[in-house]
């Protein structure tokens, strides 16, 4: 007797698996925003409502009933997306996927808009929309310039209210949900199975418990890693700090002068003397470097994370202890 055939579910191709650039996302946001104009309500009432709510998200409003006419464009004075709403509102959208703001661009765009629209429009808004992940430290800088930070979860929440069958909206929402799932995957997987997005999600969690100086991709000759660095302590000759190089925790020093080998050896001896009885898991690195940034000791992944799902509280507890030993070493 033949076995019954099990129908395999075929996943429909998603255009946003290929359209991953910021220019593609510029087009997506511009297209959605166009739908906020009242004249498109009869074509797709749900999409018109979502588009209006998206504009409200950008400027921090809750009631979208004030939105009637909308004009949208791109790359005026290098601004990613600009939006005119009714006769009195202008919105600047700086759109980011995986890059960060740079070269004072946010401040420059704001000054340009305020000069151009002086006496013309009296409600000016500035939004920094990021669908990738970004460190808390850089986002503080963004918000200090007067931009409203819009994160991926907020966009997902907005698009989740769409009840129509437009493939573009549905595919984009699925695309963002996949990024979010991969970012949060560190909660369900052992460290050995984490991808780059999972490390970003873990570092964002650490930011809730520790004062992380920064995190991001660090290129090197071996192919690079997703790293995080924090607890910088200065002495008379070096700056000592902690750094994740993905699953490997490193004790590092920064030193610029030529006698780097002797200084590295000195701090290595200090640290190992302090650690030998209390923290035997702090060990010599596989090899010593001799650049400005030098690893003087490491903790192997299994001794910090274990071999199963990570217990954040236990990891943070150990990291707090390692911060204390850095302080002692630097004294």
pLDDT tens-place string over residues 162-175: 999 999 999 999 99
Whether residue 7 lies inside any domain: the answer is no
Instruction: Identify any residues that bridge with 41 across adjacent strands, giving them in sequence order.
Output: none
CATH of the domain at 62: 3.40.1350
**Cα–Cα distance between 122 and 141 in angstroms, integer?**
25
Instruction: Convert the pLDDT of each residue in 253-299 to its tens digit.
Output: 999 988 889 999 999 999 999 999 899 999 999 988 888 999 999 99
State the CB neighbour count (10 A cutoff) for residue 155.
20
Query: Do 207 and 159 lie in a common domain?
Result: no
Whether residue 301 lies inside any domain: the answer is yes
Query: Do 150 and 210 lie in a common domain?
Result: no
Q: Is the pLDDT of residue 8 over 80?
A: no
Q: Which residues contact 273 (CB under 8 A, 6 or more apart)?
A: none
Instruction: Convert the pLDDT of each residue in 19-64 to its tens digit.
Output: 999 999 999 999 999 999 999 999 999 999 999 999 999 999 999 9
What domain count does the chain have?
2
Query: Do 42 and 161 lie in a common domain?
Result: yes
Last residue of a domain, one of 182, 208, 223: 182
- Mean pLDDT, range 309-318, rounded to an integer: 97
Instruction: Convert the pLDDT of each residue in 187-233 to its tens digit.
Output: 999 999 999 999 999 999 999 999 999 999 998 878 899 999 999 99
Helix/strand/coil for 267: helix
Query: Do 88 and 168 lie in a common domain?
Result: yes
**Cα–Cα distance between 111 and 41 in angstroms, integer?**
35
Q: Token pair of 14, please?
A: 């998603």
Helix/strand/coil for 306: coil
Whether residue 219 lies inside any domain: the answer is yes
State the CB neighbour count (10 A cutoff) for residue 185.
16
Range of the domain at 120: 15-182
Query: Do 254 and 164 lie in a common domain?
Result: no
Last residue of a domain, one of 182, 215, 242: 182
**Cα–Cα distance between 191 and 143 in angstroms, integer?**
32
Query: Do 194 and 67 lie in a common domain?
Result: no
Query: Do 157 and 50 lie in a common domain?
Result: yes
Q: What is the pLDDT of residue 325?
A: 96
Query: Do 145 and 199 lie in a common domain?
Result: no
Q: Which residue has the higher pLDDT, 2 or 60?
A: 60
Query: Do 85 and 205 lie in a common domain?
Result: no
As a whole number of Å, the CA-based R_g of the chain is 25
Q: Among the listed ranges 108-112, 132-136, 258-262, 266-270, which one has the minimum average pLDDT value?
A: 258-262
Whether residue 128 lies inside any domain: the answer is yes
Q: What is the pTM of this model?
A: 0.90
Whether residue 76 lies inside any domain: the answer is yes
> Strands 148-150 and 123-130, how do they pair?
parallel
Whether residue 9 lies inside any domain: the answer is no
Q: Is the pLDDT of residue 331 over 90?
A: no
**Cα–Cα distance between 302 and 59 in angstroms, integer?**
46
Query: Do 251 and 119 lie in a common domain?
Result: no
Whether residue 21 lies inside any domain: the answer is yes
Average pLDDT of the residues of the chain: 93
Query: Do 323 and 248 lie in a common domain?
Result: yes
Whether residue 30 lies inside any domain: the answer is yes
Residue bearing tokens 């503080």: 140
Last residue of a domain, one of 130, 152, 182: 182
Query: Do 170 and 252 lie in a common domain?
Result: no
Alpha helices in the chain (DSSP H): 22-34, 45-59, 105-116, 136-144, 152-159, 167-183, 196-206, 260-275, 301-305, 312-330
């Amino acid at each position: 007797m033949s076995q019954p055939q099990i129908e395999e579910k075929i996943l429909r191709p998603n255009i946003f698996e290929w359209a991953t650039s910021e220019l593609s996302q510029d087009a997506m946001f511009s297209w959605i925003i166009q739908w906020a104009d009242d004249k498109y309500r009869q074509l797709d009432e749900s999409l018109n409502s979502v588009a209006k709510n998206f504009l409200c998200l950008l400027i921090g409003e809750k009631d979208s009933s004030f939105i009637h006419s909308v004009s949208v464009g791109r790359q005026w004075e290098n601004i990613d997306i600009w939006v005119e709403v009714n006769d009195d509102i202008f919105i600047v959208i700086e759109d980011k996927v995986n890059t960060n703001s740079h070269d004072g661009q946010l401040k420059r765009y704001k000054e340009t808009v305020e000069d151009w629209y002086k006496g013309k429009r009296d409600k000016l808004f500035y939004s920094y929309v990021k669908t990738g992940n970004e460190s808390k430290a850089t986002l503080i800088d963004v918000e200090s310039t007067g931009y409203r930070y819009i994160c991926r979860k907020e966009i997902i929440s907005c698009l989740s209210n769409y009840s129509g069958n437009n493939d573009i909206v549905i595919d984009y929402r699925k695309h963002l949900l996949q990024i979010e799932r991969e970012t949060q995957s560190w909660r369900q997987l052992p460290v050995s199975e984490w991808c780059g997005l999972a490390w970003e999600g873990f570092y964002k969690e650490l930011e809730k418990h520790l004062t992380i100086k920064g995190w991001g991709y660090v290129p090197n000759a071996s192919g690079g890693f997703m790293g995080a660095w924090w607890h910088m302590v200065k002495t008379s000759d070096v700056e000592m700090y902690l750094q994740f190089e993905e699953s490997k925790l490193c004790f590092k020093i920064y030193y610029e002068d030529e006698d780097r080998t002797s200084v590295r050896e000195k701090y290595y001896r200090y640290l190992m003397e302090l650690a030998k009885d209390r923290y035997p898991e702090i060990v010599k690195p596989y090899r010593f470097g001799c650049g400005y940034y030098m690893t003087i000791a490491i903790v192997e992944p299994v001794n910090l994370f274990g071999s199963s799902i990570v217990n954040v509280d236990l990891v943070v507890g150990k990291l707090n202890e390692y911060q204390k030993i850095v302080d002692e070493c630097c004294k």
